[in-house]
Structure 1
Amino acid sequence: MTFGQDMWTWGYKVADHETGHTFGLPDLYAFNGDLDQYVGGWDLMGRISGPAPSYFGWEAWKFGWITDSQVSCLDTANTYATTLTGLEYGGNGHRLAVIRTGATTAYVAESRKVAYNDSNACATGVLIYEVDTSTTTGNGPIQVVTNPNAAAPTGNCTALDMQTWQPGQWFQDDTARIRIHVNASDASTDTVWTYKVVTA
């Protein structure tokens, strides 16, 4: 494997990015249009030089770094309350809250904190994204859900880098009949309520 000039531009992170491909991860930057339109700087499979380059929890779950017991998965009509430990920290607590919406689709909520690999993160709180495993690499198989009440970007941060959700805020998809509500937050965790309603 050769990196050409990429190594001079991205440093060791280019090896992390390419190793992700070796283990089956797709490119999360866009092949057409704005490169950052899907995930911004939240994952090094997107913008390698992004401010919060940790792998998404969904990818860490695929790697086996997050176990099934650390995932709160809602695939039938129900309501769960889940305290999510920041993705950047170790331990045995829950890391992901997943709501399955179809054969290849799901919404995922994870807690992101300004720590370790994400020490330059532009925002902290609950990051929500939609996964569609049928979408091909470079076309948005993972897309960060935007928060209409997110803080305005500052410095080198982009609008998508700010898209975390805070206590009292919620995301709702009326078509999928799901809701993710952020209930509480502290320095290392966020608590979310996930809802799935019976489809008529």
Structure 2
Amino acid sequence: MRGQQTPGGVERPSLRASAAAFTSLVALAATGLVAGPAVGAPSAGPCALPRTAAHHSLGLDTWNGSYPKPARTLDAVMIFLSFPDSTPLTGTDELVADYFPGTGDFFRRASYGRFTLRAHPQREWIAMPRASTAYGIQRDWDTGRRTQYLRDAIAAANEKVDFSRYDIVYLVADPDAPGVDSDATKVVNLDHPLSVDGADLKRVVTVFERHPPDRNVLAHETGHVFDLPDLYHRPTDGKGDWDTHVGDWDVMGSQFGLAPDLFGWHKWKLGWLERRQVACVQGPGSRLLSLEPLAAAPVAGGTLGTRLAVVRTGPGTALAIEARAATGNDEDTCTEGVLIYRVRNEAASGNGPIEVLDTHPRTEACWDRSVYPPLADAPLAVGETFTVPEDGTRVEVADRTRAGVWTVKVTVEEGRA
């Protein structure tokens, strides 16, 4: 999170048997697991960057098998935790409504209906053994206290929850408990997976949001469960602007963004865009493309046209080009047009793996709504041209049809790609 990110009768092994293993767990938030096993990605091609050991690498020639791939229906359990120093003031039904069906709808739209996130809220409070203030809950959480929190939560819930049935675990704390800090909401990766109910629990989403929560916060955290990186820039002193890398463009940058649909590169990585929907521009020379709006639902029959264009600029870098319009997850966007951004496969989560190029550096837009107005008008409009300073790639927006398809000319200089 960004600062201000059982079938009946089935016997289940006791958590007691795995308690010893859990005491040695090291919980790492937004750092975490090693690169993980590689799983082939049929969408790979000459413009696909290779996956690296960087945390949440945006290389997509292979899939990191340590993470569930959202290419099917995934089941998520929501567990509500209360504390002895506070009586919950908000009902679990209200808390469920804070996140679902909204989060599921976000991913259904983003995936063009290819992925379903199915929530299983437990709808009763699970009592934690310690006061909320005993855990020291905060953004940069002490590892020992965080481990204690997870151990207590899973032990308390294990009497009622069969963890083996679920792909994702959301631990939702009582938002009114005095020790709960909303800035601590995040995904915790387990250095040593915990064996619970015969399944390996590799990561947990710890939710400490107030009621009502930050907009799209659970979509952001769930993105990490699918190996997507933080796209915001965290100032070294904690002060300054967090949104200089991507602004409103992608929920992994800001859950408050006006155009939070996932970048086309993310959708390609997750398998929601196939290779035939990605135009690989190999130079030198010019190529005329028709780009459908990234967030638009498929046309009748469920077919998708080209949604992303890519220019490979180096062994670990690429330019991505996509059309953004006021539809789907982007219906509240500040501006429409053709967005250009740079992708780096060796940049870890939070270190700028994606940077949006500001094609209007002297202006800004929607200062009263945008998370970062200088990038709110980053897209190119019809009739505009932008040349990328570093490599000379030129992007020219020639037209937009009545159906909303953008005609874009991409020119690559000799010797550049």
**Same fold per superposition (TM over 0.5):** yes
Amino acid at match of 2:222: T
Question: CA offsets, 1:1-51, max 9 Å, x none?
Answer: 22112674325x222212211121110011224200000011100011111
Q: Measured at CA, do residues 37 and 149 of structure 1 come closer, stay the same or move farther in structure 2, by a change above 3 Å?
A: closer
Equivalent pairs, count: 199
* Structure 2: 5+ residue stretches without partners: 1-204
Q: Measured at CA, do residues 50 and 58 of structure 1 come closer, stay the same or move farther in structure 2, by a change above 3 Å?
A: same
Matches within 5 A, 1:1-200: 1-5=205-209, 8-11=212-215, 13-32=216-235, 33-89=240-296, 90=298, 91-148=303-360, 152-154=364-366, 155-157=368-370, 158-186=373-401, 188-199=404-415
Whole-angstrom distance in 2 between the partners of 1:120 and 1:76: 35
3-state SS in 2 of match to 1:55: coil
Between 1:163-172 and 1:62-71, the stretch displaced more is: 163-172
Whole-angstrom distance in 2 between the partners of 1:69 and 1:164: 24
3-state SS in 2 of match to 1:121: coil
Contact 1:41-1:53 within 8 A present in 2 as well: yes
Q: CA deviation at 1:170?
A: 1.6
Q: CA deviation at 1:106?
A: 0.8
Q: CA deviation at 1:151?
A: 6.0
Between 1:142-151 and 1:84-93, the stretch displaced more is: 142-151
Whole-angstrom distance in 1 between the partners of 2:247 and 2:359: 14
Question: CA offsets, 1:76-114, max 9 Å, x none?
Answer: 323211100001122321001111100111111101111
3-state SS in 1 of match to 2:288: strand
Q: Measured at CA, do residues 177 and 147 of structure 1 come closer, stay the same or move farther in structure 2, by a change above 3 Å?
A: closer
Amino acid at match of 2:293: G
Whole-angstrom distance in 1 between the partners of 2:361 and 2:406: 18
Q: CA deviation at 1:197?
A: 1.8
Q: Normalising to structure 1: TM-score of the pair?
A: 0.91
Whole-angstrom distance in 1 between the partners of 2:211 and 2:223: 16
Between 1:14-23 and 1:2-11, the stretch displaced more is: 2-11
Contact 1:150-1:162 within 8 A present in 2 as well: no
Amino acid at match of 1:28: L
Question: CA offsets, 1:40-79, max 9 Å, x none?
Answer: 0111000111111100011001111111001111133232
Contact 2:361-2:374 within 8 A present in 1 as well: no
Q: Measured at CA, do residues 116 and 179 of structure 1 come closer, stay the same or move farther in structure 2, by a change above 3 Å?
A: same
3-state SS in 1 of match to 2:217: helix
Q: Measured at CA, do residues 126 and 86 of structure 1 come closer, stay the same or move farther in structure 2, by a change above 3 Å?
A: same
Larger Rg: 2
Amino acid at match of 2:356: V
Contact 2:382-2:400 within 8 A present in 1 as well: yes
* Overall identity of the aligned pairs, in %: 36
Q: CA deviation at 1:165?
A: 0.2
* Structure 1: 5+ residue stretches without partners: none
Runs of 4+ in 1 over 3 A off after TM superposition: 149-152
Whole-angstrom distance in 1 between the partners of 2:210 and 2:279: 38
3-state SS in 1 of match to 2:339: strand
Q: Measured at CA, do residues 38 and 149 of structure 1 come closer, stay the same or move farther in structure 2, by a change above 3 Å?
A: closer
Q: Measured at CA, do residues 188 and 164 of structure 1 come closer, stay the same or move farther in structure 2, by a change above 3 Å?
A: same
3-state SS in 1 of match to 2:267: helix
